[in-house]
Amino acid sequence: MNYVSILLYGGNFHVLNDNVIVKEDYKIFDKLANEMGYKTRGPLGWVQIYLQTKNGLIFDEGPNLVTAQGREYVAQRVFNSNAYSGGVRSDWTSYVISHFAVGSGGSVVAGAPPTVTLNGPYICDTGLITATSLGVAGYLTEPGGTTLAVKSITASGGTRYLESSSYSGGGSSCTYYTKMKCTCIIPNGEPSSLAPGATTKIDEAGLYFVSGSTAKLFSHICFAPKWKEKESVLTIQWYILF
């Protein structure tokens, strides 16, 4: 006699050839999301913003949101597949997280005393609210249509690499590399259209997965406004933990 061990998360099922067929798969995913946090977590991100001005250093930090399409991108890359139960999705398996952009639509400041209200981010975001054109040939078009806005992370001295985590327990230890750190820089001279001494508002930023000249928003953050002069340097330290 064959014995079948059955673990149920609710919903209708039947047994066929000693296999459990769960008709309502979504209930299993809901169970995992509620008990293990997958619904809200996804890849985790933290962003630090440094604006070096002639008057000193301005600092801000906060969590980013990995968008729905960013999470789907990770799933496609892990499985090297864009298939789902009803067909296929847009194929992002050849894309790489390699670019970033900034914008000016991330917040509203109003009232006395002034109160900052953020305009996002949201899980369904596919682009920045108002991307800023940096005006440099070779930069890519942001999904919202702003040209020369999406910049390679490694341009102007930026970097992209993995950082380690260590674990020790149960009589064993290991080191693994699942922390992605990106240093994104908008240097003196950008945006190129900005007049000397003038400022531009920056209160949102995004990381992008890219193939060729096509950029897709991976993660998005909105923050209190920073005012960049053409002569100042904006540095974004972007951490993603998988």
H-type helices in 10-129, by residue range? 25-36, 68-79
User: 60 is written with which tokens?
Assistant: 């801000």
Q: How do the domains of the chain map onto residue ranges?
A: 1-41, 43-241
Kindly report, residue by residue over 114-140, the tens digit of the pLDDT.
999 999 999 999 999 999 999 999 999
Considering the entire predicted model, what is its pTM?
Answer: 0.84
The predicted pLDDT at position 137 comes to: 98
User: Roughly how many angstroms between the first and final C-alpha of the chain, as a whole number?
Assistant: 44
Structure confidence at residue 225 as a pLDDT band (50, 70, 90): very high
Nearest CA among 199, 219, 200, 201 for reference residue 209 = 219
Using CA atoms, how far residue 95 sits from 98, 99, 147, 157, in Å, is 9, 11, 20, 22
The predicted pLDDT at position 30 comes to: 64
The predicted pLDDT at position 43 comes to: 84
- Residue 13 pLDDT exceeds 80: no
Structure confidence at residue 21 as a pLDDT band (50, 70, 90): very low
CB 178 within 8 A of CB 211: no
Kindly report, residue by residue over 63-114, the tens digit of the pLDDT.
999 999 999 999 999 999 999 999 999 999 999 999 999 999 999 999 999 9
The percentage of residues in the chain with a pLDDT greater than 90, rounded to a whole number, is: 78
- Residue 152 pLDDT exceeds 70: yes
3-state DSSP assignment of residue 5: coil
Longest dimension (CA), the chain: 83
CB 231 within 8 A of CB 54: yes
Nearest CA among 238, 56, 235, 209 for reference residue 156 = 235
The single residue listed with the structure tokens 């930026």 is 158
| pLDDT, mean of residues 2-12 | 45
Nearest CA among 69, 74, 55, 78 for reference residue 206 = 69
| pLDDT, mean of residues 190-219 | 97
The predicted pLDDT at position 55 comes to: 87
